Structure 1
Amino acid sequence: MSPAQLPLRDVHLPPAPSWWPPAPGWWIVFGILALLLGVASAWWWRRRRQRARWLASFDREVAAAPDDAGRLAALSSLLRRAARRVEPGADRLQGEAWLRLLDGAKRRDFSQGIGRVLLEGGFQRDPQVERLAQVEALVRRRFVELMAGRR
C-alpha cells in the first residue's frame, strides 16, 4: 500500500476541560478563602459590638451628670479608667503629664487645644465651657482609642 492510499485522518484533540467543576486544588483554595473571610468577619463583628458597648457606657455616664461641671468630671473619670488599660499608672497622672498621655503620639488636642478644660473644669462650680460638645466629642474619640489599647 502506498502512503497516498492509507486511510489517515487528521489528529483530533480532546475537548478543552470545562471550567466547572474546578480541580480539587481549587476547592481547597476556595475553602481556605471562605474560612479566612469567616474569621475576619467574626473578628470585625466582635470589635464593632465591643465598641458599641463602650460608647453606650460612655453615653450613660455622661448623661447621668447633672450639670456642665458634672459632665466634665464624668468625662475625666471615663478617660482615667480607659487610660488604665494602656498604662497601669495612668490614672494617677496629674497636670501636663496627664494631658500628654491623653494627646498620644500624634495629636496635641488635649495639651494645646480644647481638651485643656479637663484640668480645672470639673472642679469649678460653673465652668465657662463654650464648646462643651466639642470637648465631649474629643473625649469620646480618645476614650474609644484608649479602650481599644491604642496609645
Structure 2
Amino acid sequence: MNPTTDPADLANLRDIVLPPAIPYWPPASGWWILGLVLLACLAILIARVIARYRHNGYRRAALRELRAIGPATDIGRAQATSAVLKRAALVAFPRENVAALTGEPWLSFLDRSGRMEAFSTDAGRDLVALSCGAPVRSDGVAIAAAAERWIGRHHGDDVRGEA
C-alpha cells in the first residue's frame, strides 16, 4: 500500500491551525456600554462637585471676611465678627428663624447649628458681651477661631431658630 494514500498514516499529520487572535479594537458592545456608564457616572460626579463648590461660596466669602477682621479684641471687631456670622446664617437658614436672634438665643442657635458648644461654654460665649462693650475673660483669637469653626461646620438640618 502506498503510504501517501493511507489516511491513517501518521506521516499525513499536520500542525494544529490556530484561529487568528481576537483584536482589541473595536471592543465588544459590553465594553461600550460599560464605558458609557462610567462616563455618565463621572459626569454626575463632576456636576455634584461643581454644585457643592458653588453652594459653599458663602462659606469661603465669610471665612475671608473673618480673616480680614482678625481677632475679636475690641467692640468693633466683635460686632463685625457677629455680623459676618449673622450674614452666613441668613444664607444657610430661613430668614424667619435667624434674623431676629440676639444674645443668648443667638449663641444657642450657633451651637445647635454648628453641632458644637463653643458659644455656650467656651470663648464664643463672650462674643455678645464684647459686642456690647462689656469686659470679657477670653481672648479675641479664641472667639475668631470659634467663628471660623462654626462657618466650616454648620448644617441646616433639623435646626430651629426659636430659643
Calculate the TM-score normalised by the size of structure 2: 0.65
1:116 to 115, 125, 129: 125
How far apart are residue 114 of structure 1 and its match?
Answer: 1.3
What is the identity, as a one-letter code, of the residue corresponding to 1:132?
A: G
State yes or no: 1:47 paired with 2:52. yes
Secondary structure in 1 aligned to 2:118? Answer: coil
What is the identity, as a one-letter code, of the residue corresponding to 1:76?
A: S
Q: Distance in 2 between matches of 1:15 and 1:2?
A: 31
Kindly indicate which of the two structures has a greater share of residues assigned to helix.
1
What is the identity, as a one-letter code, of the residue corresponding to 1:40?
A: L
Contact 1:75/1:139 (8 A) holds in 2: yes
Secondary structure in 2 aligned to 1:43? Answer: helix
1:79 maps to 85
What is the identity, as a one-letter code, of the residue corresponding to 1:71?
A: R
Contiguous gaps of at least 5 residues in structure 2:
none
Q: Distance in 1 between matches of 2:20 and 2:40?
A: 34
1:29 maps to 34
Contact 1:62/1:74 (8 A) holds in 2: no
1:133 maps to 141
Secondary structure in 2 aligned to 1:104? Answer: helix
Contact 1:81/1:91 (8 A) holds in 2: no
1:99 to 107, 131, 153: 107
- Range with greater deviation from structure 2 (94-103 or 43-52): 43-52
User: Deviation per CA, 1:96-118, whole angstroms, max 9, x where unpaired?
Assistant: 33222211264211111111012
Secondary structure in 2 aligned to 1:111? Answer: coil
Instruction: Give the structure with higher Rg (CA).
Output: 2
Q: Distance in 1 between matches of 2:74 and 2:21?
A: 76
Q: Distance in 2 between matches of 1:74 and 1:64?
A: 7
Calculate the TM-score normalised by the size of structure 1: 0.69
Contact 1:70/1:122 (8 A) holds in 2: yes
What is the RMSD computed on CA atoms of the aligned residues?
A: 3.6
What is the identity, as a one-letter code, of the residue corresponding to 2:8?
A: A
CA 1:15 to 1:120, structure 2 compared with 1: closer, same or farther past 3 Å?
same
How far apart are residue 9 of structure 1 and its match?
Answer: 5.7
Number of matched pairs: 149
Secondary structure in 1 aligned to 2:99? Answer: helix
